[in-house]
């Protein structure tokens, strides 16, 4: 076993060993088939943004997705209709109520959010239904793409839900009576039952969570399942509403967007970090897996995964702040050195985002001597420049140029340039020396 596989799998195994003996909680029995689950089943799985899979225990055991389907069908609705349209039908406010509560807004009748049953039924009903592309086919295809493999329906659980689903039917009729249900309540609920009966494993759920964490791109298949803004919107609603009436407490203590389901599945997503899933069917009074809750809570604490946790700042962005006369390549002649003294040089490294770009621009400002003639920004060791950072650096450099200074970038691939940017583009050079030479050239003084 390699070092990484060993370390991550050990962490999962440790959680498994620690909580496998917990036998608190009850099997869901309002859907009779769910009461047949093995109360001892316990699986954990984690998938990284690079698609590395780690698991332990019953991570391959199939069970029905139940409410863990809700964020993914919400994602599909957002992809098809956009946030504004979806929000006309279903709100995004934590209800503080149980999963099957009558959480409807007073005047509009709009469900509180898409994570409680009322909102999920509406979300399902929003998915277009055409002869060429039936509603449930679209949903199954979407869930499969999130999981990275073709999923199917557990027909026995489906039949069991149909027999005992009167509360969900009642909810659908109630919503319909006040307005916001775009289709026939019977059709909406039947599709919702099928969606809840889709069979998954903990590893599937980890892949689904990892896809949301990875900005909508499945890290196993490379498939762009939903656009990045949609993935972010879904994670936001999971963070505030995903754990029903314990959502606030979960965000406080565990600090990760999550979703639980009554069959014992639980997912948590670390944005840009990992997808995590557990399966253990003994549930607490809010309908959340007891062992899953404890395992994910413990992992979050141990590894410092809480979203609001203030991690040590990423490795320093700015690696050099100086003037060109201090560089080894500087000339020795006094007159030339005087010119070199008036050129600021800042080098950066790593991936540049908003925070990193602010640091780079601040360093450029700080370092500028009074009679600066130019600045050199060395991006040779920068691995990635985000859209926001790019715009910030471009406008920072453009401001200097407008001020009559020379601005040169050591960036052979011209990553700060824009297609058709023309005169507004910063001057890019293959090496730092060339950039310095251009900035310090006689005519610049």
State the nearest-atom distance from the C-beta of 286 to ligand GLU, in Å. 9
Rounded CA separation 52/189 (Å): 37
Nearer to ligand GLU, 154 or 161 (CB): 161
196 near ligand GLU, rule: CB under 6 A: yes
Is residue 189 involved in binding ligand GLU (CB under 6 A)? no
CB of 262 vs ligand GLU, minimal distance in Å? 4
We find the least distance from the C-beta atom of residue 313 to ligand GLU, in angstroms, to be 39
Q: What is the contact mask toward ligand GLU in residues 9 to 48, using x (rule: CB under 6 A)?
A: ----------------------------------------
Nearer to ligand GLU, 98 or 303 (CB): 98
Say whether residue 66 binds ligand GLU (CB under 6 A).
Answer: yes
- Which CB atom, from 262 or from 318, has the smaller least distance to ligand GLU? 262
| Residue 71 within binding range of ligand GLU, rule CB under 6 A | no
Task: Tell me: does residue 233 bind ligand GLU (CB under 6 A).
Answer: no
Q: Which of residues 77-106 bind ligand GLU (CB under 6 A)?
A: 99-100
Among 270, 287, 292, 396, binds ligand GLU (CB under 6 A): 287
Distance CA 3, CA 90 (A): 46
Q: Answer for the pair 128, 73: CB distance below 8 angstroms, yes or no.
A: no
Toward ligand GLU, which CB reaches closer, 264 or 426?
264
Which of residues 55, 117, 123, 201 is near ligand GLU by CB under 6 A?
Answer: 117
Nearer to ligand GLU, 285 or 309 (CB): 285
| Contact pattern for ligand GLU over residues 234 through 273, marking x by CB under 6 A | ---------------------------xx-----------
Whichever of 192 and 340 has its CB closer to ligand GLU, that residue is: 192
Q: How far is the CB of 153 from ligand GLU (least distance, A)?
A: 13
Closest residue (Cβ) to ligand GLU? 67
**By CB under 6 A, is residue 289 in contact with ligand GLU?**
no
Using CB under 6 A, count the residues that bind ligand GLU.
11
Bridge partners, residue 111, by sequence = 104
Q: What distance in Å separates the CA atoms of residue 444 and residue 131, rounded to the nearest whole number? A: 69
Q: Which residue lies nearer to ligand GLU by CB, 100 or 218?
A: 100
Q: Measured from the CB atom, is 66 or 372 closer to ligand GLU? A: 66
Report the residue number, 117 or 440, with the smaller CB distance to ligand GLU: 117
**Contact by Cβ (8 Å): 45, 37:** no
Pick 271 or 287: Cβ nearer ligand GLU = 287
HEC profile for the chain?
Answer: CCHHHHHHHHHHHHHHHHHCCCCCCECCCCCHHHHHCCCCCCEEEEEECCCCEEEEECCCCCEECHHHHHHHHHHHHHHHHHHHHHHHHCCCCCCCCCCCCCCECCCCCCECCCCCHHHHHHHHHHCCCCCCCCHHHHHHHHHHHHHCCCCCECHHHHHHHHHHCHHHHHHHHHHHHHCCCCCCHHHHHHHHHHHHCEEECHHHHHHHHHHHHCCCECCCCCCECCCHHHHHHHHHHHHHHCCHHHHHHHHHHCCCCEEECCCCEEEEEECCCEEEEEECCCECCCCCEHHHHHHHHHHHHHHCCCCCCCCCCCCCCEEEEEEHHHCCCCCCCHHHHHHHCCEEEEEEEEEECHHHHHHHHHHHHHHCCCCCCEEEEEEEEEEEECHHHHHHHHHHHHHHHHCCCEEEEECCCCCCCCCCCHHHCCEEECCHHHHHHHHHCHHHC
CB of 139: closest distance to ligand GLU in angstroms?
14
Cα–Cα distance between 69 and 124 in angstroms, integer?
A: 10
Q: Is 161 or 190 the residue whose CB approaches ligand GLU more closely?
A: 161
Q: Does 67 bind ligand GLU (CB under 6 A)?
A: yes
Q: For binding to ligand GLU (CB under 6 A), which residues are involved? A: 66-67, 99-100, 117, 161, 168, 196, 261-262, 287
């Amino acid at each position: 076993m390699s070092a990484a596989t060993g370390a991550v799998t050990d962490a999962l195994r440790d959680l498994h060993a620690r909580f496998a003996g917990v036998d608190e909680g009850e099997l869901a029995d309002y859907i009779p088939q769910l009461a047949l689950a093995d109360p001892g089943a316990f699986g954990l799985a984690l998938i990284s943004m690079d698609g590395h899979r780690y698991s332990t225990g019953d991570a391959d055991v199939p069970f029905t997705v139940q409410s863990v389907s809700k964020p993914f069908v919400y994602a599909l609705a957002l992809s098809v209709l956009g946030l504004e349209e979806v929000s006309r039908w279903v709100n995004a406010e934590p209800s503080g109520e149980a999963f099957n509560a009558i959480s409807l807004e007073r005047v509009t009748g709009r469900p509180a959010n898409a994570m409680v049953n009322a909102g999920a039924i509406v979300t399902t009903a929003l998915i277009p239904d055409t002869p060429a592309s039936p509603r449930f086919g679209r949903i199954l295809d979407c869930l499969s793409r999130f999981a990275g493999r073709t999923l199917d329906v557990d027909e026995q659980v489906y039949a069991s839900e149909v027999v005992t689903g009167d509360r969900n039917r009642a909810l659908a009729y109630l919503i319909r009576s006040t307005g916001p249900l775009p289709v026939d309540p019977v059709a909406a609920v039947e599709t919702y039952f099928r969606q809840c009966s889709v069979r998954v494993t903990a590893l599937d759920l980890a892949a689904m969570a990892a896809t949301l964490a990875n900005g909508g791109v499945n890290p196993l298949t490379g498939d762009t399942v939903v656009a990045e803004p949609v993935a972010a919107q879904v994670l936001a609603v999971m963070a505030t509403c995903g754990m029903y009436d314990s959502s606030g407490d979960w965000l406080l203590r565990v600090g990760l967007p999550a979703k639980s389901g009554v069959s014992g599945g639980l997912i948590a997503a670390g944005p840009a970090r990992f997808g995590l899933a557990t399966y253990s069917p003994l549930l607490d009074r809010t309908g959340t897996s007891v062992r899953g809750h404890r395992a994910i809570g413990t992992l979050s604490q141990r590894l410092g995964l809480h979203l609001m946790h203030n991690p040590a700042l990423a490795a320093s962005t700015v690696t050099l702040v100086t003037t060109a006369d201090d560089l080894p390549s500087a000339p020795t002649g006094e007159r030339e050195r005087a010119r070199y003294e008036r050129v600021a040089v800042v080098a950066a490294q790593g991936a540049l985002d908003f925070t990193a770009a602010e640091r780079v621009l601040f360093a450029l400002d700080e370092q500028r001597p009074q009679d600066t003639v130019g600045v050199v920004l060395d991006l040779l060791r920068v691995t990635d420049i985000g859209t926001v950072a790019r715009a910030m650096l471009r406008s920072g450099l453009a401001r200097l140029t407008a001020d009559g200074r020379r601005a040169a970038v050591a960036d052979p691939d011209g990553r700060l340039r824009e297609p058709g940017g023309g005169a507004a583009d910063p001057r890019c050079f293959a090496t730092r020396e060339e950039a310095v030479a251009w900035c310090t050239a006689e005519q610049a003084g």
